[in-house]
Amino acid sequence: SPTDKKFWSFRDRWMSELAYAEHQAVRWLDLVRWADTSGFVSDEPIASGAYRAWVIRAIHSNQPYDQFSIDQLAGDLVSQPSDDQLIASGFNRIVNTNCEAGAIELEQLYKLKGEHVRAVGTVWMGMTTGCAECHDHKFDPFSAKDYYSLAAFFDDLVEAGVYTPGDRREPLHYVHSDKMASRRDRELAGEIERLKVQIAAKPIDDLADWETQIVAEMKDSKSRTDFVWAAAELPAPRVLEGTFTVTTIDGKTARQTKANAETFVRHHAAEWMTGYLKPSGVKTDEVHDAWFIDVWIDEDDRPDMIGFQVSNGRYGRLGWQTENYETYYWGNDSSGELAKSHPWSDPKRVSRVGDLPDESGWIRLRVPFEKQIKEVGGKTFERTGMAWLHSGGTVGWGDSGLELRTDKATTLALAETAVRRWWERPMNRQVYERRTDVVAKALRTAPEDRDDLETSIVVDAYREQTQTELMSRLRQLESQLYVMRCSAMPVLVSKKSTQAKSTRLLHRGDYQDTTGPIVTAALPEFLAGTARGTADDPLDRLDLAQWMFDEGNPLIARVFVNRLWHQYFGRGISDTLEDSGTQGEWPSNDALLDWLACEFRDSGWDRNHMVRLLTSTRAYQLSSIPSDDLRRIDPGNRLHARQSRFRLSAESIRDSALLAAGLLATTKTIPQESFFPYQPDPYWTRSDKVMYGSRHMIWSTSPSTEQYHRSLYTFWKRQNIHPTMLAFDAPTRQECTAKRNITNTPGQALALLNDPIFVESARVMAMRICAPVDIDDETRIQ
């Protein structure tokens, strides 16, 4: 009929739009428990935005469900994986990860294994696999051996049980804005790996003799007091205080310390977007004689200028453009940037110390200070802060601070400047490892007591002297790759580990009980049929993913179409979407469920085909208003004699308000970053500070144009999701969610009344209604 044709035309047009894919993606992100943060303790940001963008692209392009799933479970294991397949493999990495002090590595590794098993069970199999962690499943034919054998599929992942605060959680893939850069990234990475293999193949038989000689020549000097940078990506402004840890260089542990007067560890972490590098400042109230900074200068890419500024350091406000300051620099400020950055520029405040030293590598620069109280530009200040900068070239920052002593109340502060926005990144490991004091410390440690990082530092130092040409080439390539990736978007990805790991069947789930047998990757016995691995040819994640979509697997298609039925008819054929086992609801029409599952499989796992099929039915197009008889006979609408009534999701409620007001941002590109819409000012800060002890994340409200993106792009902090989203039943995504709960609470009404987004949407909508002058009130209301 003409009516049907209009409906089908509207439906097909809607399904072809990016907004449809964004709407559908929310359900999948709930299911795979996607978030912007790690989940535990301080709930730190993780690199996951590109995975969300990939999900939207895959749905928008109607990627077949089998390939969509295989790419996520094992995209890194296919032959010559594409960028999209690597990004998709990030599914295995968006788990809850821990960086809590005192967390036990082995315990956390088994927790990660459990999360992988629960995710596979919930997302694809519709099974409560987590019930078999401590014993055989009480109701379904899924044993504890099946549980740990399924966990063993993920032993090949490169992942840690416990991370350090600020850790980037390698491995990462870097998403570039153009294909040429992406291709060059792969070429450089491949060349670096080949060169590392070549270097590693060279014998190091005389390493022990070399160590003995070097250690004998080293003078055992007393360690200096150092200051510290945070190696993490934190938005400004930020203040860290009290006891904290600064531990990572390219994702690997360096050193840990408490913030006290005795010792600090420091690795630089900030860069000017236009070429200036500015770690923030340190304040001190101590009488001192000289500041020093150690810098590393690349002989092939020398900077034009290196300098630092001393300023009035008040608590939490250090660095640029405070009222009193002095700037010292070596080299040439040919661009005049120093003068431009000081609106109150005074010749007394900007001093050229001299030419840049001719040396390359690590050098020390000094500026003497006379006393605690110093006259600067006719004004007096009693405390000093420091900020470091350079223009052009490649510079690494090493030790810095006082050559004599420091005070008892040193504060690390990361402060936003008035010159340019700046961002942070960890120090390049190649620069860090070449610091003389780092090599010396590693050499002083007995070989059997060294950790992996110290061992690699010693070996690299040995190779620097014995394999000069190869190591020089390696450093050059690493530097090129590092610079290229600074402008790319990192994303967590899966990577096959070269280190053998094993999974033990734990008695009662106790990781300390080592009496259970070691198990290998194997499919659930009641479903596997003849699919078995061998010692010579063990099963891996790719085998698991492909088995899921084998014709002999009865679960995957049924689970998917049941959830799709729930989406379009208000309840599933079996309404327990997360549990298709014996404790789940029996299907109201099992023959229909089987037919739909076969249709889905035979269509080539075409999701859009199934959506068109369901929405073309008479049942879907019925009115949701029930008759008195239907209300009495079938209050739960299991017979589908009418359409169900739907409550919009948290995202749809907010997006609908923005759309009605004409504020909803529409774009043809998919953002990879998350945005920060309005939320109550003390909500995040207070909960972080009191509940979790985390002070390094502050909700910085996005500009208005970014706030109006769909709610899908809201920053998702697992322990503190946006309060309006929480009020309307959005999950925390700490666990996989197949179906959101629906509540009706006074808090929802308060959110609609007070959330600035809804207030602003109402105001703008009212202005749009009242703006035309040539229509009457009745037309305005309509």
Using the predicted structure, report yes or no on whether residue 723 has a pLDDT greater than 50. yes
Alpha-carbon span 383 to 368, nearest angstrom? 15
SS3 label, residue 780: helix
Which of these, 637, 626, 658, lies nearest to 588 by C-alpha position? 637
Q: Which span out of 69-83, 499-513, 668-682 was modeled with the highest average pLDDT?
A: 69-83
Using the predicted structure, report yes or no on whether residue 611 has a pLDDT greater than 50. yes
Alpha-carbon span 400 to 369, nearest angstrom? 14
Residue 56: band (very low, low, confident or very high) from pLDDT cuts 50, 70, 90:
very high
pLDDT in tens, 165-181: 777 888 999 999 888 88
Tokens 């609801």 correspond to what residue? 585
Using the predicted structure, report yes or no on whether residue 577 has a pLDDT greater than 60. yes
- Is 139:583 a contact under the CB 8 Å cutoff? yes
Using the predicted structure, report yes or no on whether residue 385 has a pLDDT greater than 80. no
Q: What is residue 533's predicted lDDT score, i.e. its pLDDT?
A: 65
Using the predicted structure, report yes or no on whether residue 201 has a pLDDT greater than 50. yes
DSSP characters over 223-254: PPP------S--PSSEEE-SS----EETTEE-
DSSP characters over 654-710: HHHHHHHHT-----SS---S-B-----HHHHHHHIIIII---S----PPPHHHHTS-
Using the predicted structure, report yes or no on whether residue 469 has a pLDDT greater than 50. yes
Pick the range with the lowest mean pLDDT from 73-82, 226-235, 515-524: 226-235
Q: What is residue 774's predicted lDDT score, i.e. its pLDDT?
A: 74
Structure tokens at 271: 């860069």
Structure tokens at 139: 């109701």
Pick the range with the lowest mean pLDDT from 33-37, 344-348, 361-365: 344-348
Using the predicted structure, report yes or no on whether residue 270 has a pLDDT greater than 90. no
Rounded to a whole number of angstroms, the CA Rg of the chain reads 30
Residue 25: band (very low, low, confident or very high) from pLDDT cuts 50, 70, 90:
very high
Q: What is residue 236's predicted lDDT score, i.e. its pLDDT?
A: 31
Using the predicted structure, report yes or no on whether residue 496 has a pLDDT greater than 90. yes
Q: What is residue 35's predicted lDDT score, i.e. its pLDDT?
A: 96
- Which of residues 314 and 699 earns the better pLDDT score? 699
Percent of the chain scored above 90 by pLDDT? 42
Using the predicted structure, report yes or no on whether residue 686 has a pLDDT greater than 80. no
Pick the range with the lowest mean pLDDT from 41-55, 225-239, 344-358, 434-448: 225-239
Mean pLDDT score, 543-563: 93
Mean pLDDT score, 605-630: 93
Exposed / middle / buried, residue 658 (Cβ in 10 Å: 0-12, 13-18, 19+): buried
List the helix and strand counts (H, then E) for the chain.
27, 20
Residue 396: band (very low, low, confident or very high) from pLDDT cuts 50, 70, 90:
low
Q: Which residue(s) pair with 37 in the sheet? A: 45
Residue 24: band (very low, low, confident or very high) from pLDDT cuts 50, 70, 90:
very high
Using the predicted structure, report yes or no on whether residue 456 has a pLDDT greater than 90. no
Q: What is residue 455's predicted lDDT score, i.e. its pLDDT?
A: 86
660 CB-near residues (< 8 Å, 6+ apart): 761, 765
- Which of residues 57 and 179 earns the better pLDDT score? 57
Residue 142: band (very low, low, confident or very high) from pLDDT cuts 50, 70, 90:
very high
Q: What is residue 418's predicted lDDT score, i.e. its pLDDT?
A: 19
Q: What is residue 532's predicted lDDT score, i.e. its pLDDT?
A: 64
Residue 218: band (very low, low, confident or very high) from pLDDT cuts 50, 70, 90:
low
Q: What is residue 110's predicted lDDT score, i.e. its pLDDT?
A: 95
Whole-number average pLDDT of the chain: 76
SS3 label, residue 571: coil
